[in-house]
A and B are shown apart, each in its own frame.
Chain A
Amino acid sequence: MQRRDFLQLAGLGGGAIFSASLAGCATAGRPQDEFYFVQLSDAHWGFQGPPNPDARGTLPKAVAAVNALPKAPDFIVFTGDLTHTTDDPVERRRRMTEFRQVVSDLKVKTVHFMPGEHDAALDRGAAFKEMFGDTYYRFDHKGVHFIALDNVSDRGTTLGAEQLAWLQAELAKLDRDAPLVVLAHRPLFPLVPKWDWHTRDGEQALALLMPHPNVTVFYGHIHQEHHQMTGHIAHHSARSLMFPLPAPGTAEKPLPVAWDPAAPYRGLGWREVEVEGAKTERVEHAVSAT
């Protein structure tokens, strides 16, 4: 029995399963390189306000839910805005220290962190680098290449020439047909430019990725699920762990959706991503009040 089948039978987690392809799921054998990881995003640790009366409790709830998964993920990615922005460099580091303390309760110890603009834009990533390391990097796992991009440390939301050159060099080392997962905070495509939901030079990154036939992008920033294709590249945004934002372009400003006491934590969540070769399958989880 595969993990997904087990989840469905057990009804665990309140997750909803989405897949581009389920081929192979019915086979008895489990390919050795199949694995899954968890994406957490936009915790905004340090935020206080009516959009989340449980601002200090929501991330711990997600940590507990991940720890309760019947089979541990191979690793966890955190796609930015770990903390809520502050002008005070001391307070920024205090929030990052607290955040790190909260997520240290995760049983899975391999966690790949990425910055969001709230973490990194005001000091160009200085505090993030001190606490979490590089802001962009590559790692490989069971035949799948992962590339984490930084489109936030520059206040102007650019990747910049240096990072684009690095990306080009990294991609040149790879087999073009190999599965490739790109992680970022902001959308690499122009989702809603009038809300600043884009990456100013994202099209250059996408142009570099286009020759690779098996690319999937997971990102955060917009505090909700959103799924879009640019050519053959699939882009999936994740829910937040602090407050949801309006659906793309549907409000005057991209400001937090009001907390609903009748449906606490509505719109907040995280996801599992199963990877089997070039196929990915998402299992979406809502943050639960219990």
Chain B
Amino acid sequence: MKRRQLLLMGVAAGAALSGARAQTPREIEVTAQRFRFTPNVIPLKAGEPVVLLIRSLDFAHGFFVPDLDLRTDLMPGRVIRLAFTPPAPGRLAFLCDNFCGDGHEGMDGHFEVA
């Protein structure tokens, strides 16, 4: 099974991958709406497992973190849980990778990992 698939299996898989079973992942709510994510700058800590609760309001956007090879589709009206653990300090870009219209190219954000 590919690492990407493991990551998409949810909180348990994300926690297992990070080796941080004892920690309760911090939950972070994210909204996707043409053509922005809110928030679009998200502070994280390296090694801290988190779960993004991503809700799309209007479109089947994508959520893609290239540096972690992590992505999911966002179904309008559903909360998608995406678990991961940032491995190291730095900046991790994320973006919508399902073409969503005139403005799609600017629908992105990043994690600031301390």
- The reply to whether A155 and B66 contact each other, CB–CB distance below 8 Å, is no
- The reply to whether B99 and A86 contact each other, CB–CB distance below 8 Å, is no
B:22-65 near A, CB below 8 Å: 60, 62, 64
Is the C-beta of B93 less than 8 angstroms from some C-beta in chain A? yes
A:148-204 near B, CB below 8 Å: 152, 155-157, 193-196, 200
B60 and chain A: residue at smallest CB distance: A155
Residues from chain A with a CB closer than 8 A to the CB of B101 are: 85, 87, 122
B:62-114 near A, CB below 8 Å: 62, 64, 66-67, 73, 93, 95-102, 105-106, 108
B34 and chain A: residue at smallest CB distance: A87
- With A and B bound together, what is the CA distance between A212 and B95 in angstroms? 34
- With A and B bound together, what is the CA distance between A87 and B100 in angstroms? 9
Given A156-B73, A194-B66: A255 and B106 within 8 A (CB)? Answer: yes
- The reply to whether B102 and A196 contact each other, CB–CB distance below 8 Å, is no
- The reply to whether A117 and B95 contact each other, CB–CB distance below 8 Å, is no
- The reply to whether B99 and A121 contact each other, CB–CB distance below 8 Å, is yes
Is the C-beta of A133 less than 8 angstroms from some C-beta in chain B? no
Given A121-B99, A155-B60, A194-B95: A253 and B66 within 8 A (CB)? Answer: no
- With A and B bound together, what is the CA distance between A121 and B100 in angstroms? 8
Closest chain B CB from A235 CB (angstroms):
19
Given A194-B66, A254-B105: A152 and B99 within 8 A (CB)? Answer: yes
22 A–B pairs (Cβ distance < 8 Å), ordered by A: A84-B102, A85-B101, A86-B102, A87-B102, A117-B99, A122-B99, A122-B101, A155-B60, A155-B99, A156-B62, A156-B73, A156-B97, A156-B98, A157-B97, A157-B99, A193-B64, A194-B67, A194-B93, A194-B108, A196-B95, A196-B96, A254-B105
Residues from chain B with a CB closer than 8 A to the CB of A84 are: 102
Interface size class of A (residues with CB under 8 A): 10 to 19
> A-side binding surface: helix, strand, loop or mixed?
loop
Q: Residues on B close to A: CB < 8 A?
A: 60, 62, 64, 66-67, 73, 93, 95-102, 105-106, 108
Residues from chain A with a CB closer than 8 A to the CB of B62 are: 155-156
Closest chain B CB from A93 CB (angstroms):
16
Residues from chain A with a CB closer than 8 A to the CB of B105 are: 195-196, 253-255
Residues from chain B with a CB closer than 8 A to the CB of A254 are: 105
Please list the 4 inter-chain residue pairs (A to B) with the smallest Cβ-Cβ separation, ordered nearest first.
A193-B66, A121-B99, A117-B99, A194-B93
Residues from chain B with a CB closer than 8 A to the CB of A195 are: 95, 105
- With A and B bound together, what is the CA distance between A121 and B98 in angstroms? 9
Digit string of A117-157 for contact with B (CB within 8 Å is 1, else 0)?
10001100000000000000000000000000000100111
Most A CB contacts (10 A, CB to CB) among B99, B100, B108 go to B99
Residues from chain A with a CB closer than 8 A to the CB of B102 are: 84-87
Residues from chain A with a CB closer than 8 A to the CB of B96 are: 196
4 additional A-B residue pairs with CB within 8 Å, beyond A152-B99, A157-B98, A255-B105: A122-B101, A155-B60, A155-B62, A194-B95
Q: Which of B60, B67, B73, B97 contacts A196 (CB 8 A)?
A: B97
Closest chain B CB from A77 CB (angstroms):
22
Q: Which of A155, A193, A200 contacts B100 (CB 8 A)?
A: A155
Closest chain A CB from B36 CB (angstroms):
12
- With A and B bound together, what is the CA distance between A194 and B110 in angstroms? 10
Residues from chain A with a CB closer than 8 A to the CB of B93 are: 194
Residues from chain A with a CB closer than 8 A to the CB of B73 are: 156
Residues from chain A with a CB closer than 8 A to the CB of B98 are: 155-157
Residues from chain B with a CB closer than 8 A to the CB of A200 are: 97
- With A and B bound together, what is the CA distance between A85 and B106 in angstroms? 14
Residues from chain B with a CB closer than 8 A to the CB of A122 are: 99, 101
A245 and chain B: residue at smallest CB distance: B105
- With A and B bound together, what is the CA distance between A193 and B96 in angstroms? 11
